[in-house]
Structure 1
Amino acid sequence: MAQTIREVMTRDVEVIGPQDTLRDAAEKMRSLNVGALPVCAADRVVGMLTDRDIVVRAIALGMDSAVTTVEDAMTGNVQFCYEEDDAMGVLARMRDMQVRRFIVVNEDERLVGIVSLGDLSQAVSEQRVGEALEHISESAPTV
């Protein structure tokens, strides 16, 4: 029987607000030992902020992390899946889109969790997760 994302996702996800500073976000990432935080306004996901976003979109450009907001560095077009989605289908989407995690929402599109390749390894064979990771890690074609 196929497993759903609800069965493998990480619940109780910490979030950050779009008006918080990058310094606040970096400190939260450090204390939680995570590399990504969903960005929420009220209970709606408006973006995702990764440690790479902070470095590449802000610090490398000389922005001050004490005053630059999360909104200025986050990725706004967030990929998500539903908690009732099939784990194999989500793994295939991750592979095709070359991403390592998805926000998980309920039928009202409210944040209920996050699912990563590591989470999916509970539901899908290690070989399939490994193949997906290999594809995700490939360089994207240049245009």
Structure 2
Amino acid sequence: MTTAADIMSQGAQCVPMNETLDRAAQLMREQNVGALPVCDENERMQGIITDRDIVVKCVAAGHDPSKVRAGDLCEGTPRWISADASAEDALAEMETHQIRRLPVVGGDKRLVGMISEADVARTLTDDQVATFVERVYATS
């Protein structure tokens, strides 16, 4: 069985909830990613922020990214998958919630990686990728 750990990108890092958005954007640039999980002081995931969140919800809204905290943009229930879950379960989670990035956590519930669209495209068959794209981008 292929697991979430088999298809994820390793080395994902959290941004602390109290970190400013300008620093979060710098971390995204340094890591060449478009999203970062947001974690509390115990390294437990509280949400995820994207580069688009920073632009639309902060900069375009006239706020100063050096004053707004990453935790301020966390909304809703964070979605994640266990590293030992099947790849099919990971895809189902992404499809059901129409999300393009899925944090992967270990047995201690701490971040161990991230599954992105690129990971899906790299590891699955063309038919699986087509089904995934259709379901994630479907409009209700």
TM-score normalized by structure 2? Answer: 0.89
User: Tell me, which stretches of 5 or more residues in structure 2 are unaligned?
Assistant: none
Match of 1:10 in 2: 9
CA displacement, residues 24-64 of structure 1 (integer Å, 9 cap, x when unaligned) = 11111122221001111232111111111112221222111
Contact 1:53/1:74 (CA < 8 Å) preserved in 2? no
Match of 2:36 in 1: 37
Match of 2:116 in 1: 116
CA displacement, residues 98-132 of structure 1 (integer Å, 9 cap, x when unaligned) = 11111111223121111123223344312212221
Q: Using the alignment, how far apart are the partners of 2:65 and 2:43 within structure 1?
A: 25
Give percent identity, aligned residues only: 35
Q: How does 1:1-143 map to 2 (within 5 A)?
A: 2-41=1-40, 42-139=42-139, 141=140
User: Tell me, which stretches of 5 or more residues in structure 1 are unaligned?
Assistant: none
Query: How far is 1:12 from its partner?
Result: 1.6
What secondary structure is seen at the aligned counterpart in 2 of 1:58?
Answer: helix
Q: Using the alignment, how far apart are the partners of 2:93 and 2:13 within structure 1?
A: 24
4+ runs deviating over 2 angstroms: 120-124
**CA separation of 1:76 and 1:16: change in aligned 2, threshold 3 A:** farther
Contact 1:12/1:113 (CA < 8 Å) preserved in 2? yes
Query: How far is 1:16 from its partner?
Result: 0.9
Which segment drifts farther, 113-122 or 26-35? 113-122
Contact 1:35/1:50 (CA < 8 Å) preserved in 2? yes
Contact 1:46/1:76 (CA < 8 Å) preserved in 2? no
Q: Using the alignment, how far apart are the partners of 2:5 and 2:32 within structure 1?
A: 23
Query: How far is 1:134 from its partner?
Result: 2.4
Contact 1:87/1:120 (CA < 8 Å) preserved in 2? no
Q: Using the alignment, how far apart are the partners of 2:68 and 2:24 within structure 1?
A: 11
Q: How many residues align?
A: 139
